[in-house]
Amino acid sequence: MTEAPVSAALARAARAAAAATKLPRGGAAPAWDTLAACPDWVLDLPGSRATLRRLGALWHAGALQRCIDGRQLQAAQDCLGAALLQALLDAELPGPGAATLPAGEALDEAFTECGRALARAALPDAALRAALAPAEVGALERLPQQAAAAWAEAAERLPAALELPR
């Protein structure tokens, strides 16, 4: 084996091992290859929180589009940045999404956790979805995988140049 394949194999093994530490204890673990190919957000890699926040914000875009409360919209802009908020206000959504917005001070955490639930539901590998499922499964985790994947794809179509303030 040459140095590059060994290095790649070690990196893949390290990624799989790191993913395995994120799984809840008990239950069947996904295959090693599945763990090695897990998305960055499972490992809490840099930038993954912003990706999850963006996906969760998209889920709430319909509620943002209907919102007439200036304080709530300002809180959303503080959380997301003006450019992303405007893109969400203009977005065509793949479905109805959230009916209401969380309180302004809770937007960041709510968007991130909502994005995590949607990203988990969108995983194409059923074993990984099941392994990452929380003890108490919410409505978003019950969303069919194809529907959740449509939301994830729509979030990826938001303009790439948008920067999140945090």
pLDDT tens, 48-85?
899 999 999 999 999 999 999 999 999 999 999 999 99
d(CA 133, CA 43): 15
pLDDT tens, 96-140?
999 999 988 999 999 999 999 999 999 888 888 888 877 676 778
Confidence (pLDDT) at 161: 42
What is the value of pTM for the model shown? 0.82
Examine residue 5 and state whether it is found in any structural domain, yes or no.
no
Domain residues for the domain of 106 are: 40-156
d(CA 53, CA 111): 5
Examine residue 25 and state whether it is found in any structural domain, yes or no.
no
How many domains are contained in the chain?
A: 1
